[in-house]
Structure 1
Amino acid sequence: MSEHQHGDNCGCGHDHDHDHDHEEHVFIVTDDEGQEREMVMVYTFESEDKAYAVLLDRNDPEADGVIFRFEEENEETFLVGIEDDAEWDRVTAIYEEIARVENESQE
């Protein structure tokens, strides 16, 4: 079996204009109704010495993103929902500003 060598004009239909080091981080998140959703991490940022991740529904990428906080315990990192209203308001304001700047740069 020969190994396929991808190139700009190889004709295999594979998109070669992306970074091959790109790794999609997918999480299974259970919503308030108990439905499991595949969520893809699309952005991370920090605020007040805490790290946050923005996830989009893999099957509904046009839906609003959800922000989770990274927590570490016993050398494991996991995502937790943000319960504190002041923290939620702060991180959503930060992400909205990031999204606004991103949208302006793409225009």
Structure 2
Amino acid sequence: MENDIKNLVLEDEDGKQVQFEVITKLDIEDREYVIVTSEDSRESEEAIVLKIIEDEKGMEIFATVEDEHEFNQVSEVYEALF
């Protein structure tokens, strides 16, 4: 993923398009993550961690981080930088 992307439009589980603002991109242990905020979460200053992975066609997709250890690792790096 390019480092200069400012916005992403993703589909939620209901198929609704949601616009996100990219706060930063992080590279941690050969994995890529983006920290984003949606219009709804901006008011609460809540950020969302998404992992960038490749699907079977080699296309980049964004996935939520389910593993607690991985999430904490990304959160620690983010908090150290910001």
Unpaired stretches in structure 1, ≥5 consecutive residues: 1-21, 100-107
Is 2:37–2:46's contact at 8 Å kept on the other side of the alignment?
Answer: yes
For these two proteins, the number of residue pairs brought into alignment is 76
Q: Which runs of 4+ in 1 moved over 4 A?
A: none
Counterpart of 1:9 in structure 2 is none
What TM-score, normalized by structure 2, do the two folds share?
0.74
2:23 pairs with 1:72: no
2:79 pairs with 1:96: yes
Instruction: Say which structure is richer in strand.
Output: 2
Identity %: 14
Counterpart of 2:24 in structure 1 is 43
RMSD between superposed Cα atoms in Å: 2.3
Q: Which has the higher contact order (CA 8 A, sep 6+)?
A: 2
| Larger Rg, first or second structure (1 or 2) | 1
Unpaired stretches in structure 2, ≥5 consecutive residues: none
What TM-score, normalized by structure 1, do the two folds share?
0.59
Residue of structure 1 aligned with 2:8, choices 4, 26, 31: 26
